[in-house]
Amino acid sequence: MKHLLRPLNARVFFTLYCPQVGNYTHKMRGRDGHGRPLQFTPEDKQLIAAALKQMAAEISKQLKNI
């Protein structure tokens, strides 16, 4: 997941497109604040996939307007 979102500013992406996904910075790092392992849940992954599709559609629409 970390590599997929590398070209994006994660804070902007999650704020605009996936506000339901909590602790995304810890999940991207793979550890919580106490050093315990933490991963994206299957529900988080579904939300992220849907958000990426939405973002891609918005970009595509804007490109058509150029």
Report how far residue 54's alpha carbon sits from residue 61's, in angstroms, rounded to the nearest whole number. 11
Q: Residue 3 has what pLDDT?
A: 61
Q: Residue 14 has what pLDDT?
A: 95
Task: Specify whether the CB–CB gap between 2 and 28 falls below 8 A.
Answer: yes
pTM above 0.85, yes or no: no
**Residue-number span of the structural domain to which 32 is assigned:** 10-64
In a domain, 49, yes or no: yes
In a domain, 4, yes or no: no
Number of domains in the chain: 1
Tens of pLDDT along the chain (66 residues)? 556 556 778 899 999 999 999 999 999 999 999 999 999 999 999 999 999 999 999 888 888 877
Q: Residue 1 has what pLDDT?
A: 54
Residue type, 3: H
Residue type, 43: E
Extended strands (E) in 1-66: none
Report how far residue 2's alpha carbon sits from residue 29's, in angstroms, rounded to the nearest whole number. 8
In a domain, 52, yes or no: yes
Q: Residue 39 has what pLDDT?
A: 96
Report how far residue 49's alpha carbon sits from residue 34's, in angstroms, rounded to the nearest whole number. 28
